[in-house]
A and B are shown apart, each in its own frame.
Chain A
Amino acid sequence: MKNVKAIETKSNTPMLIIVGVLLVAVLGGWWMYSSSKSAPKTNTANANSTSNSAAANKPKTASIPPGAPPGANPPNQAGSQTASVTLEEFADFQCGSCALTHPIINEIKSTYGSRIHFIFRNYPLAIPAHDKSYEAAVAAEAAGLQGKFWDLQNLLFNNQQAWTAAPTYKTIWKDYAAKIGLDIGKWENDMAGIQAKSRVDADMARGKAIGVSSTPSLYINGNAVPFAEATVSGLKKLIDAELASSNPAAANAAPANAAPANAANTAK
């Protein structure tokens, strides 16, 4: 009994330990946060970026590791799934460079048609300037649930300047949704639901596992495309080389002028 009393003697020791643990937790957390911030981190090659060469020089995983998560399944895809060349794009709807690359990709899709397999991945960057990018990706995926992913994706990229800083962006998106003939009620429900978000999350998980740190990030047959090559001629050169290595005859074939199968292959 006395021992118990002795133990219970008022002591500052437990309070000192508790305060010490609190300090270690807070300071440790702050240290991890600061270390992470000082390390080379997410970058957005957006329209405000002044240097393309800087973006090109950023370290990037050279190729997609085989064990990377698959991303949304089925992906938002165009062209032929059996094509020997796969072009995979990771993009963010609020990224200026992504909007600039969008017509380039569309041209590539038109030029190569079913000779390539194009996959679009959502990769909304978690940075303050991109406060609507995740929501935009979910909106596009929700449109995809009605077979209209590419329609809304086109409108979001083509009109990026109109909504990206607008407080009424949701009204603007709603106008887009009406314009492409979406069932607005279902689209809004799907935006709030888990299915569209899960698809975006799955794409992001894939991008993160690969090491995507900027947008747009392009991969041809799993190999990273240098930022400087993200032009129509640069991409054609790389794609032609891949086609030639897999099937020399196909590389010399006339470019398909049919529209890519972007509507038919919209994500379910």
Chain B
Amino acid sequence: MSTKTTIAKLPVAAAIVALAGLADSVYLTVHHYTAEPVPCSIIEGCEQVLNSQWAEFQGIPLAAFGAAAYFVAFSLALLTVFGDRRTWRLYGVQATIMAGFSGWLIYVQAALIGAFCQFCLLSAISSIILFVIFIASIFTRSAAPEFESEQLLETD
């Protein structure tokens, strides 16, 4: 019961985390276009990060790519919640790419810019949580092979 419950809850948790990441990324995207300062209460250097050369790619703010990525992750997780188990694998690919990219962005902040932006870190943490949720689903599934065959791999 507990394993099944955990498996059922993981996509829900993923959808909620993706929504938080989406909200954060939308906020940062809007900030990029309005050039308004963002609150930087926990750490210093938000503007240094958000006004750095890494803040955009081909003229498009990185946060906008993040918003799109979170939206895709949310959609895939939600479809899984509603029974389309195939999308969970796509979610896994998406979460892995996002976590990898977030890791690189943390490196950029730490090593190349020398400053951190709390909203960027929040986004990175969200991505990593999405990835951890996927990994957790793999381990939980191996602990319940019956459930795996009946639900997670059900495609018809």
Q: Which residues of A contact B (CB under 8 A)?
A: 1, 4, 7-9, 11, 13-14, 17-18, 21-22, 25, 28-29, 32-33, 36-37, 41-42, 69, 126-127, 194, 197-198, 201-202, 204-205, 208-209
Contact call A205/B71, Cβ cutoff below 8 A: no
How would you classify the secondary structure of chain A's contact residues: helix, strand, loop or mixed? helix
**Closest Cβ neighbor of B79 among chain A residues:** A14
At the interface, is chain B mostly helix, strand, loop or mixed? helix
Whether B47 and A36, one on each chain, are in contact in the complex, defined by CB atoms closer than 8 angstroms, is no
Q: Are A17 and B78 in contact (CB under 8 A)?
A: yes
B58 an interface residue at 8 Å Cβ cutoff? no
Complex interface bits, B8-48 against A, C-beta within 8 A gives 1, otherwise 0: 00000000000100110011011001111100100011111
Proximity bits, B115-150, A CB within 8 Å = 1, else 0 = 000000000000000000000000000000000001
Neighbour of A36 across the interface among B36, B84, B154, CB < 8 A? B36
Are B30 and A33 in touch, CB under 8 angstroms? yes
Assuming the contacts A7-B83, A205-B51, A208-B47, asked whether A25 and B34 have C-beta atoms less than 8 A apart, the reply is no
B residues near A (Cβ < 8 Å) are 19, 22-23, 26-27, 29-30, 33-37, 40, 44-48, 51-53, 67, 71, 74-75, 78-79, 81-84, 112-114, 150-151, 154
Q: In the complex the two chains form, is A32's CB within 8 Å of B47's CB?
A: no
Q: Known: A4-B83, A41-B36. Contact between A202 and B27, CB under 8 A?
A: no
B47 touches A4 (CB 8 A): no
For A7, A28, A41, A209, which residue has the most chain B Cβ atoms within 10 angstroms? A7
Q: When chains A and B are docked, how far (Å) is the Cα of A208 from the Cα of B46? A: 10
**A36 neighbours in B (Cβ, 8 Å):** 30, 34, 36
Which A residues are in CB contact (< 8 Å) with B84?
8, 14
Q: Which residue of B lies closest to A19 (CB)?
A: B75
18 residue pairs A–B, Cβ–Cβ below 8 Å: A4-B150, A7-B82, A7-B83, A8-B82, A8-B154, A14-B79, A18-B78, A22-B71, A25-B67, A32-B27, A36-B36, A37-B34, A41-B34, A69-B47, A194-B53, A197-B53, A198-B113, A201-B48
